[in-house]
Amino acid sequence: MSLLEQGNITIHTENIFPIIKKSLYTDHEVFFRELVSNAVDAISKLSMVSRSGEYTQEVGEPEISIALDKDQKTLSITDNGIGMTADEVKKYINQVAFSSAEEFISKYKSDGDDAIIGHFGLGFYSSFMVAKQVEIDTLSYQEGAQAVHWTCDGSPQFKLEESPRTERGTTITLTLMEEEEEYLEAGRIRQLVKTYCDFMPVAIKLDGEVINRQKAPWRESSSNLTDDDYLELYRYLYPFQEDPLLWVHLNTDYPFIVNGILYFPKLRPDVDVTQGNIKLFSNQVFVSDHCEEVIPKFLMPLRGVIDSTDIPLNISRSALQSNRTVRKIADYIAKKWAIASRKSIGMIARNIFVAGRMWAPSSSLVP
């Protein structure tokens, strides 16, 4: 059999843009999470190059600022992170879905434990789900760098030109579609920050006011937390609920990374214990209210947080169920819960009896 042709398959932007606009995410609001995650990444990268000695200027207080302009119908997100050169914009923005995170981490991986949440690529392009035009104004940390301005209206065409910007960092400006103007409302932005970005480790400001909590207790050592700290988090995540009966702090970095706090709530007859209430995070970024695929079914009554970068969050639920790492994480959670709850099994049983529920722990509860 003779070979006629050999080469690489090319994905054209004119084909991928309609997919991005209509099908990249089910909920359009996820664009906000993606852009803020990119901003946190940029700040983490600056911290890495500063510690390596490659950048010797003042880093300043890291922050992300959000600006709304109802007259111009624009939403802007600004960070004081690492910034980009013209060549980096061409590489990381114009090459759709090209990831800079893996390359960056491999260079600076010995310089600390800063987590790179995401990366420019499809996450950045999620902005076109809500915007008719997207602009990037950026100045790299590199000495003598020229600031650049990138503009795209959602077609395969873009414009890259010099910018008068003098401050290190990046501003992403979205000119919103008419049907997406809800994102010009301060209340809507506050709600998005509370949902997705509340525990991100960088201050997020709107109108000069910090609007996120920043501190994620589950990323702390349990020795640094008091009972009041655990209860305060529970009350914040589940307002108007009675205090939990007990909790367990998850913290492991081998053979996978998992941080979290799981609570056993006081059950009531009107509570459906088959519905999961655990919140799933990845590097302090909220992902989902449901993680049935990550915890054993007999632990479904639990509430709390699981935070892991080792769970493949962008694959299907069926794939999650068959994923080997996810199964190992589920086993780890079950064993940790068994150890923590063994001393309190009587209290748990009484609570279940009073609630009038049949909750029969699997035999794996006690190793």
Q: Which of 210, 235, 254 is the last residue of a domain?
A: 210
How many domains does the chain divide into? 2
Is 85 within a domain?
A: yes
- What amino acid occupies position 158? F
Nearest to 229 by CA among 261, 203, 195: 261
Q: Which residues of 324-338 are buried (b: 16+ CB within 10 A; e: fewer)?
A: eebeebbeebbebbb
> Are residues 295 and 331 located together in one domain of the fold?
yes
Q: Residue 339: inside a domain, yes or no? A: yes
| 227 and 315 both lie in a single domain | yes
- Which residue range forms the structural domain that includes residue 76? 13-210
- State mean pLDDT over 341-366: 49
Is the pLDDT reported for residue 41 higher than 70? Answer: yes
Structure pTM? 0.81
Q: Do 316 and 223 share a structural domain? A: yes
Residue at 310 is within a domain: yes
Q: Exposed, middle or buried, 160 (CB in 10 Å: 0-12/13-18/19+)?
A: middle
Q: pLDDT for 66-84, tens place per residue?
A: 999 999 999 999 999 999 9
| pLDDT, tens digit (0-9, with 9 covering 90-100), for 320-351 | 666 777 778 888 888 887 777 665 555 555 55
Based on the fold, state whether residues 230 and 158 are members of the same structural domain. no
